[in-house]
Every structure is written in structure tokens, then in C-alpha cells.
Structure 1
């Protein structure tokens, strides 16, 4: 692919003849970049499979409760009583290997293991066809009756006197601190806090450590930085 040096994004494509089912690694190099540069050589993996995994039912509460279905790519028909091998990974390290099978409708679930890692990947293999699928799981196992409101929580609600400020203007604001304990919300008084004002680049403009004596903190100590 030629470089027209116009600082625009260009795309190209490469035709690959049909490949057998499996996991493949593609490598490419970028001409004109120093060989020692991290961007000089790149690689990515891709999967070739005759089948795919779709959702039969899905919940955001616990991804391990999702019902998955193994179907044929061409006609969408489910694969019944298909033997599966689950390889559970985190940070490139194999944690568990579990055997499983689809049911009479081609439905299955990811296995529940003792792993408590927040981010995990399941490599799912069909030994009969050498097909592979990858499913990513976020979060630890959460039971169906989990209620976040039953856990103690605290938050700070900040209110400013206007939505937009000009450079150099004073920011008047109020902070109300509340806590949620045993599903009951109440106001917190006398809480030590550091109030920081950041600019659009994430740089600190002004900050102050405060400890209000009443329930609502009112102050005018922060000012917007003037334009240079």
C-alpha cells in the first residue's frame, strides 16, 4: 500500500482463500518505520469456524447466568448434545479447564468456577470440528438476589451557581454528603473533603481541604483560571 503522505486514513484489504476451522495469527509490518519501533511489526488473531455462539437469554446481573446457543453459521440450526471444552483465562494465564455439552436445544452456560478475577475470557473448543469461540466475562459472580442498596454507600452531590463560567470568574458551589446504610439514606455532617477544580486538560486549577461544621458546605474559594 503506497503512502501518499496526505495525512489521511487509508484502508486496504487482502483476500485469503478459505481456511480450515481454527485459530490463526496474522502478522504484518509497516514500511518506513524503524525496525526497533514498537509499531514496526503488528499481529492480530482471528477465528475461523463453521459455527457461532448466540444468546438464548441474557442478564446484566450475572454473565454466568446467560443462556448461550451454539448454531451453524450457514443455516442457524442448533447443534444438539455437542461436546465442548472450556478454557478459562485471565491475563493470559490458564485458570481452569472444564468439559461441557449443549443440551437437546443446543443451549449451554459458561461454567461456574472458583475464580474470582474481575475480567476473564473463556476459550470454547468443539473437539469434533476444531471450532473455537471466545467469550469475555466481566465482574465477579453475583447472586440473583444481590441488592446493591443493602451495602453501605456514600456519595457527594455538588451544585454550582451556574452551568458555564468565563475565565477568572469565581465558582460558587454547595456539596451535600449523603450515605446509604441498610437501605436508608441520610446526610453526613463534618466530613473532611478535598475540593479540586480541573481544566479541560485535566490539570488542577485550584483546590482546598475543607471540613464543614454543618450539613451543607457553601464556599466560594475556587476561581476559574484566566486565559493567557
Structure 2
């Protein structure tokens, strides 16, 4: 990841963002600079603030249209340059795509695996693809929920998904950015939630059938044997 280029110091928003100088960043944004403006190395104020963990700067930049998924020439988003879990969590909560891959095919978690393993662990724990890898093999399909139960679950998931999509679209429009990446992630999460919901419903059906079986006689021809009965002599 390139470092901020110190050109035109009097208007260098990248250094100000990296230094945590909120007043200077606000001044430069007020003069017309974009929170997503790249320096000659395609390093943006969003990358600079994320790299140094300046959450207050990130909050301000996002409020002015800063894109949490903006990429540099390497395809790296701000999530690739964070150095602590707190900053990573902030970006994720504001729409950063966890499963993004840069031009080398590396995800943010993969990028941090060696130098910042705690960040990598956090990102892997919330990655939709990681969840799918660990969850899908355990899903059983032997027990099918009722049609009514399936319809209720589907309606709830659809309603939740539509609400999320509306929020993302409105925020993207207000910030003047492309919502596609964030929309893909929320749809992926909805799919995973649907899989888990189906799994839980299947388990509930299985448990109910097992409970029903407990009421059946456990002796031959329906005759129960007492605990002290050792059987025929």
C-alpha cells in the first residue's frame, strides 16, 4: 500500500486525514475537495484515516460522501489498511465489504493474516463465505417444515432484505456512490440467514418427531417393564 504523497502541503488532505487533523480535513472538504480524492498513488483520505485508526475522521468523511469500499490501483479498500479490530469493525458496520478481493485475489482477512492476525480473525468470523463453508455441510434436509412455516419464514426474510436494500440505496444516493458492492453483501447475508433458518426449522421438526416417539410403549406388545424387573426367570 503506497503512503500518502506530500504534494501541495497547503491542500494535502491525505496527510491531514492520516494525522487525525479533523479541523484541517473539514477545511479542505469545505473548499471543495472530495473525501474520495486520490493522490498520485491513488491513496485516498479514506485509506489514510483507516490506516491510522482515526475513526472520528472516518465518521466525518463518510458523512461527506466518503466511500468505505473505494479502491486504490491495487484494488485495496480502506479495510485492507486498518491495523486494529476497532477500525475494522467501524468500517464493516458502515458497509465495508468483507469478502472483497483485490487485484491479486486477496481478501482483507488474507491481507492481515500475518501482520495483524487479530484483525484477520475478526474479519473471518463475519465473512459470508466463511460462514457458508462452516455451516452448509451440517444442514440436513431429511425433515421438511410445513408449507405455512416456510412461507412465514420467507416473508420475514424478504421484508428484512427489502428494508436493508432501501436503507443502502438511500444512503448511497445521499453519498453519491455506487451501492452494488454493499447490496451484494447484504443479499449474501440474507441467503445465509435463509439457510440457517431452514436448518433450525428442520431441527425443530426433527425434535418434535422424536418427542412424539417418546410416548410409544417401550415393551413388547405395549407392555412396559418396571425398572426393577429383570425379565422372565
TM-score by length of 1: 0.23
TM-score by length of 2: 0.22
Higher helix fraction (1 or 2): 2
Higher strand fraction (1 or 2): 1
